[in-house]
Chain A
Amino acid sequence: MIETNVAQSVIHHGLELGADFAEIYVERNLSNLISTLSDRVQSVESGIDFGIGLRLIYGHKVLYGYTNQTDEDELHRILSELAAKDLRDPQATATAFDFTTIETKHPAAQTLSDHADVDSKVAYLLAANRAAKASSNQISQTRGMCKQREQHVAIFNSEGLATEDRRHYIRATLTAIAADGSEQATGQWGDGGLLGWEISEQLDPEKTGQEAARQALVNLGAKPCPSGRMPVVIGPGFGGVIFHEACGHLLETTSVAKKASVFHDKMGEMIANPAVSAVDDGTLQNEWGSINIDDEGMDTQRTQLIKDGKLTSFLVDRVGSEQTGFARTGSGRRESYKYAPASRMRNTFIEPGEHAFDDMIESIDHGIFAAQMGGGSVQPGTGEFNFAVTEGYLIESGKIKHPVKAATLISTGPAVLQEISMVGNDFSLACGMCGSVSGAIPTTVGQATLKVDDILVGGQE
Chain B
Amino acid sequence: MNLDTAIQSILNKVVDAGAEGDLIIDQGQSLSLKAQNGALEEHKVTSNRILGLRVIRDAKVGTAYSEAIDDDAIHTMVDQALLNASYAGEEPAERIVASEHQLQTDDALLCPPDTSTVEEKIDFALTLEASLAEKSKVQSVPYNGVQAGFGQRQIFSTQGLSASARYATMSAYAYALIEEGEVNAMEGAGQASRTFGLLDKDALVARVHQAGLDILHGKPVASGPYDVIFDVETQSALFSVFLMMFSGKSAKDGVNPMRDRLGETIADTRLTLVDDPEDTSGFGYSLFDDEGSLAKRTTLIDAGVLTSLAHNSVTAAHFDTGNTAHATRGPRSTLGVGLHQLKAMAGEETEEDCMAGQWLEITDLTGLHSGANPISGEFSFGASGFLHDGSNRVQPVRGITVAGNFYTMLNTISSISDTPLWNWQRSSCLPMIRFANVSVSG
Contacts and interface: CB of A to CB of B under 8 A. Distances in A.
Contact of B371 (A43, A140, A408): A408
Given A45-B64, A456-B399, A64 B44 contact: yes
A67 B122 CA distance: 22
B369 A375 contact: yes
Contacts of B333: 45
A443 B98 CA distance: 44
B130 to A, nearest CB: 15
B39 interface: yes
A456 B369 CA distance: 19
Given A40-B89, A45-B63, A66 B367 contact: no
Contact of B382 (A35, A85, A340, A410): A410
Interface string A370-406: 0000111101111011111000000000000000011
B68 A68 contact: yes
Contact of B253 (A44, A141, A338, A410): A141
Interface stretch (B203-211, B233-241, B400-408): B400-408
B50, B73, B376, B398: residue with the most chain A Cβ atoms closer than 10 Å: B376
A344 to B, nearest CB: 16
Q: Is the interface of B mostly helix, strand, loop or mixed?
A: strand
A103 interface: no
A367 B441 CA distance: 15
Interface residues of B, number: 76
B441 A456 contact: yes
A184 B184 contact: no
Nearest to A227: B441
A458 B376 contact: no
Contacts of A225: 380, 403
A48 B66 contact: yes
A267 B192 CA distance: 40
B41 A62 contact: yes
A219 B369 CA distance: 19
A404 B48 CA distance: 47
Contacts of A439: none
A297 B280 CA distance: 47
Contact of A50 (B67, B80, B223, B441): B67
A201 interface: no
Contacts of B399: 384, 410, 456
B68 A122 contact: no
Given A65-B45, A259-B139, A406-B380, A118 B373 contact: no
Interface stretch (A8-16, A76-84, A271-279): A76-84
Contacts of B370: 374-377, 386-388, 408
B441 A260 contact: no
A64, A67, A82, A379: residue with the most chain B Cβ atoms closer than 10 Å: A379
A41 B87 contact: yes
Given A44-B62, A85-B122, A141-B254, A459 B373 contact: no
B42, B398, B402: residue with the most chain A Cβ atoms closer than 10 Å: B42
A407 B403 CA distance: 8
Interface in B192-228: 220, 223
A228 interface: yes
Interface residues of A, number: 75
Contact of A47 (B49, B332, B405): B332
Interface in B384-419: 398-405
Contacts of A217: none
B401 A456 contact: yes
A45 B253 contact: no
Contacts of A37: 253
A183 interface: yes
Nearest to B404: A460
Contacts of A374: 370-371
B413 to A, nearest CB: 18
A108 B50 CA distance: 29
B122, B333, B367: residue with the most chain A Cβ atoms closer than 10 Å: B367
Interface string B410-442: 000000000000000000000000000001011
Contact of A85 (B43, B371, B376): B43
B378 A405 contact: yes
Nearest to A319: B41
Given A50-B67, A65-B44, A386-B381, A459 B369 contact: no
Nearest to A140: B254
Nearest to A219: B376
A367 B439 CA distance: 18
Given A78-B45, A340-B42, A406-B378, A122 B439 contact: no
Interface string A45-60: 1111111000000001
A64 B43 contact: yes
A35 B442 CA distance: 41
A81 B45 contact: yes
Given A386-B366, A406-B373, A460 B380 contact: yes
Given A60-B41, A459-B441, A386 B382 contact: yes
A258 interface: yes
B285 to A, nearest CB: 26
A30 B379 CA distance: 36
A461 interface: yes
A388 B257 contact: no
B116 interface: no
Contacts of A22: none
Contacts of A47: 52, 64-66, 77, 80, 332
B391 to A, nearest CB: 27
A225 to B, nearest CB: 8
A88 to B, nearest CB: 14
A93 interface: no
B401 A227 contact: yes
B255 interface: yes
B64 A459 contact: no
Given A141-B254, A258-B36, 9 more contacts: A82-B45, A259-B139, A259-B140, A375-B367, A386-B382, A408-B370, A408-B401, A456-B220, A460-B405
12 contacts: A67-B48, A68-B50, A143-B253, A177-B254, A184-B257, A186-B376, A260-B140, A377-B370, A381-B175, A386-B371, A410-B399, A459-B441
Q: Which 10 A-B pairs have the closest CB atoms?
A: A458-B401, A227-B441, A375-B370, A260-B142, A47-B65, A386-B367, A386-B382, A408-B380, A44-B84, A40-B89
Interface of B: 36, 39-50, 52, 61-68, 73, 76-77, 80, 84-85, 87-89, 118-119, 122, 139-140, 142-143, 175, 177, 184-186, 220, 223, 253-255, 257, 332-334, 366-367, 369-371, 373, 375-376, 378-382, 398-405, 439, 441-442
